[in-house]
Amino acid sequence: MNPFKQMIAENIAESLEHQSAQEIMQWIEKPPNSDLGDYAFPCFKLSKALRKAPQSIALEISEAIKKDDVFLKTEAIGGYLNFYFNRKKLAEKVLSEVINRKEKFASSNEGAGKTICIDFSAPNIAKPFHVGHLRSTVIGSSLYKIYSHMGYECVGINHLGDWGTQFGKVIVAYKNWGNQERIEKEPIQGLLDLYVKFHDESEKTPELEDEAREWFVKMEKGDKEALSLWKWFSEETIKELKKIYSLLGVRFDHYTGESFYNDKMKPILDELHQKNLLEDSQGAVLVNLESYNMPPCLVQKKDGSTLYATRDITAAIYRKNTFDFTKCLYLTDYSQNLHFAQWFKVIELMGYEWAADLEHVPFGRVTHEGKRIQSRKGTVVLLEEVIEGAIERVFNIIEEKNPELPNKKEVAVDVGVGAVIFNDLSHNRIKDISFSWDTAFSFDGETGPYVQYTHARAVSVLRKAGIDLEEKTFQIEGSYLEDEVSNQVIRQLETFEDAIRDAMNKNEPSILTRHVVDLAQSFNRFYHDHPILVDDAKVKETRLALVVSVKEVLHLGLSLLGIKAPDRM
Ligand code: ARG
The three-state (H, E, C) secondary structure of 86-100, written as one string: CHHHHHHHHHHHHHH
Q: Pocket around ligand 1: residues whose beta carbon is below 6 Å from it?
A: 119, 122-124, 159, 161, 312, 330, 332
Q: What pLDDT, on a 0 to 100 scale, did the predictor assign at position 440?
A: 66
Atom of ligand 1 nearest to the CA of 160: 1
Q: What pLDDT, on a 0 to 100 scale, did the predictor assign at position 437?
A: 66
pLDDT one-digit tens code per residue, 325-351: 999 999 999 999 999 999 999 999 999
**What rounded mean pLDDT belongs to the chain?**
92
Bigger pLDDT: 34 vs 435: 34
Bigger pLDDT: 77 vs 371: 77
As a whole number of angstroms, the distance between CA 112 and CA 148 comes to 9
User: What are the sequence ranges of the domains in the chain?
Assistant: 3-85, 115-372
Compute, in angstroms, the gap from residue 233 CA to the centroid of ligand 1.
Answer: 18
* ipTM tops the 0.95 cut: yes
Told to judge if 130 belongs to the known catalytic residues of this protein, a careful annotator would answer yes
Q: What percent of the chain has pLDDT over 70?
A: 96
Q: How many CB atoms lie within 10 A of CB 436?
A: 13
For residue 432, give every residue at least 6 positions away whose Cβ sits within 8 Å of its Cβ, in sequence order, or none. 364, 365, 366, 367
Q: If pLDDT is split at 50, 70 and 90, which confidence band does 388 have? A: confident
Same fold, 3-85 and 115-372: no
Q: For domain 3-85, is the CATH number 3.40.50.1820? A: no
The single residue of 5, 88, 130, 360 carrying the catalytic annotation is: 130
Q: What pLDDT, on a 0 to 100 scale, did the predictor assign at position 55?
A: 92
Q: What pLDDT, on a 0 to 100 scale, did the predictor assign at position 382?
A: 63
For residue 256, give every residue at least 6 positions away whose Cβ sits within 8 Å of its Cβ, in sequence order, or none. 157, 158, 159, 315
Nearest to 499 by CA among 433, 556, 414, 418: 556
Told to judge if 555 belongs to the known catalytic residues of this protein, a careful annotator would answer no
Q: What pLDDT, on a 0 to 100 scale, did the predictor assign at position 292?
A: 98
284-287 and 297-300 as β-strands: parallel, antiparallel, unpaired?
A: antiparallel
- Ligand 1 site-directed mutation target among 192, 317, 336, 374, most atoms within 8 Å of CB: 336
Lowest mean pLDDT of 21-30, 434-443, 557-566, name the range. Answer: 434-443
The single residue of 5, 93, 127, 564 carrying the catalytic annotation is: 127
Compute, in angstroms, the gap from residue 65 CA to the centroid of ligand 1.
Answer: 53
State which H helix or E strand residue 446 sits in.
none
Compute, in angstroms, the gap from residue 297 CA to the centroid of ligand 1.
Answer: 16
pLDDT at 377 over 60: no
Looking at ligand 1, which residue's alpha carbon is closest to its atom 4? 123
The one-letter code for the residue type at 55 is Q
Q: What pLDDT, on a 0 to 100 scale, did the predictor assign at position 68?
A: 82
As a whole number of angstroms, the distance between CA 117 and CA 115 comes to 7
pLDDT one-digit tens code per residue, 189-207: 889 889 989 999 999 999 9
Atom of ligand 1 nearest to the CA of 133: 4
Told to judge if 127 belongs to the known catalytic residues of this protein, a careful annotator would answer yes
State which H helix or E strand residue 383 sits in.
helix 383-401
pLDDT at 374 over 60: no
Q: What pLDDT, on a 0 to 100 scale, did the predictor assign at position 220?
A: 85
Q: What pLDDT, on a 0 to 100 scale, did the predictor assign at position 390?
A: 87
Residue 558 burial (10 A CB sphere; 0-12, 13-18, 19+):
buried
Any idea which fold 115-372 has? Rossmann fold (3.40.50)
Residue 373 DSSP class: P
Using an 8 Å Cβ cutoff, are 347 and 321 in contact? no
The single residue of 88, 93, 133, 515 carrying the catalytic annotation is: 133
pLDDT at 487 over 80: yes
Nearest to 281 by CA among 307, 260, 255, 300: 300
Compute, in angstroms, the gap from residue 123 CA to the centroid of ligand 1.
Answer: 7
pLDDT at 494 over 90: yes
